[in-house]
A and B are shown apart, each in its own frame.
Chain A
Amino acid sequence: MKNLKPFYLGLWCLLLMPLLLFSQGRTVTGNITDINGRPIAGATVSLKQLNQLTTSDASGRFTLSIPAGATSIMISSTGFKSKTVSVDAGAASVTVQLEEDVARLDEVVVTGLATSVKRKNLANAVASISAQQLTGVAPGQTLDGVLSGKIPGALINANSGAPGGGSSVKLRGVTSVYGNTQPLYVIDGVFIDNTATSGGLNAVTGAASGGAPTSNQDNPSSRISDIRPEDIENIEILKGASAASIYGSKASAGVIIITTQRGRQGKTSITVSQDLGQIRVRKLLGVRQFTAARAASLSSDSATSVALAKQFTDAQAAGHIYDYEKEVYGNKGFARNTVLSMSGGSDKTTFFFSAATKKEDGIVKNTGYKNTAFRLNVDHRLSDRIKIGVSTNYINSSADRGISGNDNSGVSLGIALASTPSFAQLHPDNQGNYPNNPFAASNPLQTIALMRNNESVNRFIGGANIEAVLQKSLQSTTKFVGRGGVDFYNLQTNVQFPGILQFQAVNKGTSIQGFTKNLSTNYIFSLVNSYTPSSALALTTSAGITQETGDYNNLLNVATQVIAGQSNVDQAGALTATQFRSKYQNNGIFAQEEATLLEGITLTAGVRFDRSSNNGNVAHYYAYPKAGVSWNLTQLGFGKNTFFNNFKLRAAYGEATNVPAYGSKFTSAVVSNIAGNPGSLINTQQGDPAIQPERQKELETGLDFSILKGRLGFELTYYYKKIDNFLMLSNLPASSGFSTKWLNAGDLRNQGVELGMNAKPIQTRNVTWNSSVNFWLNRSKVTRFIIPPIPQGSFGYVLGSFQVEQGKSATQIVGLNGAGVGVLGDAEPKFQMSTYNDITFFNKLSLRFLLHWKHGGDNINLTSLQNDFGGTSVDYDNVTNKQGLPDGVYRITQVGVNAEQFVKDAGYLRLREIGLYYSITKLPVSFIRGIRVGVSLNNYLTITKYKSYDPEVSNFGTGFSTGVDVDPYPATKRADFHISVDF
């Protein structure tokens, strides 16, 4: 680390540079509009090279003090091309028209921890999502849910349809097998904890054997879903190491940078919006139509068969044949969402405040989601040189998620329904007593009525940033930029299974209460120097230090033999407590240099050094270099006034890692007591005291151009991403006493292309049509693998399983193919495409829609298998197989012979979001400035061959093995009505 000493010396030199002060000059006012004369609110007005700036108000007006010598101001706004306007000494007001920036060349993109560049000089393909795209079409329930289809290069998969979210986001292929595959979320500079905490359902479902109270099949929500999408101004996605490496050891799965709305100078504007909606199941599978003969065939015992046939005919005669699937999943959930936001401020202080509350019912009774949140963002200009900003966000969310997915006790709704025929009698009697379900271990109607699986969160996220100009001259500006914050939450999980439930015969009531406290903090302190010796050269130098800490504490109490009607864990005959804590501290040091030559060539180089308390060697600093070059030929004067309006070549390289999971260096002993004697039993995971982070190296190159006066823009990207020494929780020979051990087991690579097109096909005074089309695909390959391939993360070869294997795709699915074990599919889609369109008529009526096509990509569908086993599949009695057996019977005969029937193409074409909005701006009353009304639909149209509730599903949560489908909470669709009023 000695090599950094000269760098600190340099920092001191920068500090000691003489400071230059300015005298105040005059005031300029102005009016900013688009080319159709509509005012542009929130545009940034700044003085070139100086730190003075302001923003335009809702009617596009601004006022700015400028020093005597200044002659030009620069105007920029998201979605428009920046413009430099000269203000002559005499002029006091200016009118500026901005052209729309279809290819978004002038959008400012964050590329360092404290620096940013314009898209036209960017060396990476950084995807960004505007507020309009995020929530302006058809808002969804949670943030993770509304990202789907909006990020080129991403594979986003909802784990289930359960209220409260929970999605897997994989950027540019799998980046890890057993490490973290989920991106880092940063909101206003605060690193957000996205730990999924299980509520301990495994204690009841036994989905994963071994008796642990939690498993990765407990279907918890993602903590990122706490964040309200309505507060978000913009999201930027750094998809791979080439862009994200400045985030070092947390960035290998990519970084999602979220910027929330800030206050705007001017008269306080108040917006109240109200959404009302209805949530329905997207699709039901249907149930088998029974006859007396079919009922009889449920048993092989002749006496029982006779009884079953009679049971059916009795039920039929009494009119007691039910569609339980529809009864359980077919409810309509009411959804409401109210948001109040305020924005305003003076030239010194601006603020943004929002208060929002939503409540949404699920399609299963007694499930639903609630979220109430407050946000206050304040920016204050302490002096001409010092600017501070504070972001605060309090969230209270509560999700009743029900019980779904895999289980081994017959208690989850889907598993119970799978073996319950339509002639079973499950309804309560007049006293409200539910009968036992003779066909399954639980009566799903009783389970729904009496159980509870709630996650409730109280969360505070607070961030602060300070920018202080330490030195300023006409050629050089040095700033101190400090950012940091805390993310604190208390999560309470509450799972109740009262003793009268059918399956509680042994435990006589189970109450599982979990208390989780998490505190994450982070800060970045940096110095940024911009040096512009001539108009042909601009240098931005930044350097600084970072720290991230985390402190997670989860206490889970499982009480059984619970006193009737009680839920407190002490009101019970037996209590088992588990506690899990983790703590880490990561430290980083970074330096980055960006050079822009002739406003057309941008060279970037940076390095970050990181150490982590989770690494085997806690003192060692790992280095993460990055470099990038972009060459904008148009800016350099090549091909001006030709077919191309803008033409850029770019390449970037970077490295990043994943910190090993907490505790992976220890061989620990778990508690295992007997008859009051405390016992220590060695864990099944062997520790690795020398564990290292897995390293990702990414090279990205691309070509961006726009034509037809910028109305058509293209972005073509190719990336090659190599993960060296990826960590495997490798399966050891169990005879060693250990089942798993972390091992740097091999290398894998992802390569892919992302093609993006932004277009404005129609632009007339009355109709404008904005369209973007994205196409992306990824291919992975395991290039080195030092241990024998073994099935991973599913249910073995018989039912189809993931398997990491040298020379094969990392996400291949293998299983029995009739002649042995072979490749049956791949979770990776062949390609994905999405298109977002916004068509506006007469500036008033907007039609917006998002269409998403995922071609290929296989799931392991075991939901149908469960229904076949229970003799309830809708197509059980069809005969389409060659053996002439009923299909249900035939499929069961294939179990153990062939797993092809489980590995199914989960491609789809989905109209994810469509919305129609009408704005009224001319109103008879003056205190109302505008009203917008709209209707929207989510997921209403899906074309897929996949035969289960939804092709988007993951029984195993967000890890490597997504796409395993075992009786999930069915996916939903929603219809909403929106109204919002601006005051």
Chain B
Amino acid sequence: MKRTMYFPATILLALACCMWSCKKDYGNLNSPTAEQFLNNASKSELNNLVSGTESGMRNNAALYLDDVGTIGREGYRFSGSEPRYVTDLLGANSGTLSSSNFYITTPWASHYRVIKNCNILIQSAANATTITDAEKKGYSGFAKTIKAYQLLLNLNLTDSNGIRIDVNDPDHLGPIVGYDAALTTIALLLDSAKTDLTGAAVSFPLAGFGSFSDAAGLVQFNRSLAARVAVYRQQWASALTYLNDSFFSLNGDFNTGVNHVFGTGSGDQLNPAFIPLNQAGEIRVAHPSYATDITPGDDRINKAPLRNATASLNGLSSNRDVWVYTSSTAPMPIIRNEELILIYAEAKIALNSFPDAIVALNVIRTKHNLPAYAGAVTQNALTTEMLNQRRYSLFYEGHRWVDMRRYNRLGELPIDRPGDDVWTMFPLPVTEN
């Protein structure tokens, strides 16, 4: 009898004593942590960061294209469930762009998330003891190049509202930097990346870089971006220099370049900008002016084929789909030769080397089934022609709005409804203030 009574109490006390010693810490059961990478990462861990970076660049890429494409009047994103594509972005009802809405906060955050990944990659590579110095330079050159590209995309959205450059320490962020200073920093970052990549050993796999996956190829990619930044900065001569070190080829394939690639593998993504033809409800249609402004015969009309039925929403309508991304695994260009040819033309126009410019413009025109340029040979006329070719060649690749803004021509973009506006820039996300 007595034994039964003591039994539970003994258990109780034994457990109480045991409890002091057996504290539990389960760690993170679901994924690696930033601390793990920073603490002497292995090569395969660093390669995971590289692939995560390349993969992460695709997050919300379609939203970025819709932001730039809608304000640049390239197309409309009709959505039965998200009215703000056709209200806020087009400035309907004398509303304004909000600093707390998804169209700025989401792409902005996605780009900085990739930048964070790049910063962790740079730091982890520096801390790693099992890789060579040349390999370290490979990682940091790649990371810096991608960082510069992501900063540029955000600057394209916020323009003279600026971006934040120094973001390495989340608890002590640097200041918001204005447009010109930000572009300068981006250019310097690309230069620094190029220095790292020169003579670096690239021991990581890349997916969308094709033949530019080695150190020499990454330098070419880096210089292509540098050329884009140079024309943004109106440093025309530099742009031409950078083109020489890039994969620019006046007579080469327009589509040579670096892409976001998509796949159906586990943890991979499908091209979010792909919407099949003739859908209802969730659709992306070309701005009506795309077809009305196009030169007859231009094969680029195929980027906006006719729909079975006109789509309408909220006082807007279009009978053509955007058809740039034609399958769920179609690649999305980061930068490609067609843009470089047009950058070449742009720099030549600015430097008054009109014959060179016309040669380049004619390369574009001829390949798109148009006759050679026959317009006036003035800087203004050629600029208009160059911008027009950019409009059609780079349709829905995220350029039109930025280009028109660079040349102060936003006023030329069409207004579809009374009260609509063409925004110059997005406000900084509310969390940045």
Contact B310 A299 (CB under 8 A): yes
Residues of A within 8 A of B252 (CB): none
Residues of B within 8 A of A670 (CB): 31
- Choice from B2, B28, B101, B319 contacting A796 with Cβ under 8 Å: B101
Contact B317 A301 (CB under 8 A): yes
Q: How large is the interface on A (under 10, 10 to 19, 20 to 34, 35 or more residues)?
A: 35 or more
Residue of A nearest to B277 (CB): A505
Contact B8 A19 (CB under 8 A): no
Contact B266 A576 (CB under 8 A): yes
Residue of B nearest to A305 (CB): B312
B408 beta carbon closer than 8 Å to chain A: no
A437 beta carbon closer than 8 Å to chain B: yes
- Which residues 381-433 in A have Cβ within 8 Å of B in the complex? 383, 385-386, 406-410, 415-416, 418-419
Residues of A within 8 A of B95 (CB): 798, 895-897
Contact B31 A734 (CB under 8 A): no
Besides the known contacts A668-B33, A675-B207, 13 further A-B residue pairs in the complex with CB atoms under 8 A apart:
A19-B2, A301-B318, A386-B4, A480-B12, A668-B31, A669-B37, A675-B208, A679-B53, A680-B32, A734-B112, A734-B432, A738-B170, A896-B96
- Interface CB pairs A-B, < 8 A, 26: A209-B60, A301-B312, A304-B317, A410-B80, A419-B80, A439-B280, A468-B5, A482-B8, A505-B279, A506-B328, A584-B24, A587-B19, A611-B23, A668-B28, A671-B31, A672-B51, A674-B207, A676-B263, A680-B32, A733-B429, A734-B432, A736-B173, A737-B112, A737-B170, A797-B98, A892-B314
Contact B54 A679 (CB under 8 A): yes
B30 beta carbon closer than 8 Å to chain A: yes
B292 beta carbon closer than 8 Å to chain A: no
Interface pick from A348-356, A681-689, A928-936: A681-689
Contact B30 A580 (CB under 8 A): yes
Task: Report whether over half of chain B's contact residues are helix, strand or loop; otherwise say mixed.
Answer: mixed
Contact A736 B80 (CB under 8 A): no
Give complex CA distance A737, B96 in Å: 26
Contact A676 B265 (CB under 8 A): yes
Contact A893 B30 (CB under 8 A): no
Q: A545-B15, A676-B263, A678-B51 are in contact. Are A410 and B79 (CB under 8 A)?
A: yes
Contact B32 A573 (CB under 8 A): no
Give complex CA distance A299, B280 in Å: 14
Residues of A within 8 A of B13 (CB): 8, 11-12
Residues of B within 8 A of A772 (CB): none
A129 beta carbon closer than 8 Å to chain B: no
Residue of B nearest to A467 (CB): B8
Q: A8-B13, A673-B55 are in contact. Are A436 and B312 (CB under 8 A)?
A: no
Residues of A within 8 A of B429 (CB): 733-734
Contact B26 A583 (CB under 8 A): yes
Residues of B within 8 A of A734 (CB): 105, 108-109, 112-113, 429, 431-432
- Choice from A506, A583, A671, A733 contacting B432 with Cβ under 8 Å: A733
Give complex CA distance A917, B272 in Å: 59
A445 beta carbon closer than 8 Å to chain B: no
Residues of B within 8 A of A209 (CB): 60, 63, 102, 106
| Residue of B1, B12, B94 most packed against chain A (CB within 10 A) | B12
A441 to chain B, nearest CB (A): 3
A579 beta carbon closer than 8 Å to chain B: yes
Binary contact readout A557-584 vs B (1 if CB under 8 angstroms, 0 otherwise): 0001100000000000111110111111
A149 beta carbon closer than 8 Å to chain B: no
Residues of A within 8 A of B115 (CB): 737
Give complex CA distance A582, B1 in Å: 43
Residues of A within 8 A of B265 (CB): 574, 673, 675-676
Contact A441 B310 (CB under 8 A): no
A883 to chain B, nearest CB (A): 12
- Choice from A408, A482, A506, A583 contacting B274 with Cβ under 8 Å: A506
B202 to chain A, nearest CB (A): 14
Contact A732 B80 (CB under 8 A): no
Contact A682 B117 (CB under 8 A): yes
Binary contact readout A684-725 vs B (1 if CB under 8 angstroms, 0 otherwise): 101100000000000000000000000000000000000000
A496 to chain B, nearest CB (A): 19
Residues of B within 8 A of A796 (CB): 98, 100-102
Q: A300-B315, A437-B280 are in contact. Are A677 and B207 (CB under 8 A)?
A: yes
Interface pick from B85-93, B222-230, B332-340: B85-93
Residues of B within 8 A of A503 (CB): 281-282
B56 beta carbon closer than 8 Å to chain A: yes
Q: A1-B20, A545-B16 are in contact. Are A674 and B263 (CB under 8 A)?
A: yes
Residues of A within 8 A of B80 (CB): 410, 415-416, 418-419, 440-441, 866, 869-870
Contact A896 B282 (CB under 8 A): no
A165 beta carbon closer than 8 Å to chain B: no
B91 to chain A, nearest CB (A): 9
- Choice from B96, B119, B280 contacting A438 with Cβ under 8 Å: B280
B120 to chain A, nearest CB (A): 6
A961 to chain B, nearest CB (A): 15
Residue of A nearest to B117 (CB): A682
- Choice from B30, B280, B281 contacting A668 with Cβ under 8 Å: B30
Give complex CA distance A681, B113 in Å: 8
- Which residues 50-74 in B have Cβ within 8 Å of A in the complex? 50-56, 58-60, 63
| Residue of B16, B54, B207, B328 most packed against chain A (CB within 10 A) | B16
Binary contact readout A31-50 vs B (1 if CB under 8 angstroms, 0 otherwise): 00000000000000000000
Binary contact readout A657-672 vs B (1 if CB under 8 angstroms, 0 otherwise): 0000001001111111
Give complex CA distance A339, B274 in Å: 53
Contact B32 A480 (CB under 8 A): no
Name A's B-contacting residues (CB within 8 A). Answer: 1, 8, 11-12, 15, 19, 209-211, 298-301, 303-304, 307, 383, 385-386, 406-410, 415-416, 418-419, 436-442, 466, 468-470, 480, 482, 502-503, 505-506, 525-527, 544-545, 547, 560-561, 573-577, 579-585, 587, 589, 611, 613, 618-619, 663, 666-684, 686-687, 731-739, 741, 788, 790-791, 796-798, 801, 865-866, 869-870, 892-897
- Choice from A408, A469, A576 contacting B267 with Cβ under 8 Å: A576
- Which residues 232-275 in B have Cβ within 8 Å of A in the complex? 261, 263-270, 272, 274-275
Residues of B within 8 A of A299 (CB): 310, 312, 317
B61 to chain A, nearest CB (A): 11
Binary contact readout B411-433 vs A (1 if CB under 8 angstroms, 0 otherwise): 00000000000000000011111
Contact A210 B59 (CB under 8 A): yes
Give complex CA distance A339, B307 in Å: 59
Contact B270 A682 (CB under 8 A): no
Contact B52 A438 (CB under 8 A): no
B34 beta carbon closer than 8 Å to chain A: yes
Residue of B nearest to A580 (CB): B30
Contact B87 A896 (CB under 8 A): yes
B365 beta carbon closer than 8 Å to chain A: no
Residues of B within 8 A of A385 (CB): 5
Residues of A within 8 A of B275 (CB): 506
B374 beta carbon closer than 8 Å to chain A: no
Contact A304 B281 (CB under 8 A): no
Contact B208 A674 (CB under 8 A): yes
| Residue of A385, A577, A680 most packed against chain B (CB within 10 A) | A680
A384 to chain B, nearest CB (A): 10
Give complex CA distance A209, B272 in Å: 11
Q: A416-B281, A734-B108 are in contact. Are A407 and B81 (CB under 8 A)?
A: yes
Residue of A nearest to B97 (CB): A896
Contact B32 A613 (CB under 8 A): no
Give complex CA distance A408, B2 in Å: 69
Contact A679 B164 (CB under 8 A): no
| Residue of A611, A683, A736, A790 most packed against chain B (CB within 10 A) | A736
| Residue of A299, A415, A573, A801 most packed against chain B (CB within 10 A) | A299
Residues of B within 8 A of A582 (CB): 29
Give complex CA distance A561, B264 in Å: 9
Give complex CA distance A437, B309 in Å: 12
* Complex A-B, nearest 4 residue pairs according to Cβ-Cβ distance, in ascending order: A737-B116, A441-B281, A896-B95, A574-B264
Contact A419 B281 (CB under 8 A): yes
A38 to chain B, nearest CB (A): 41
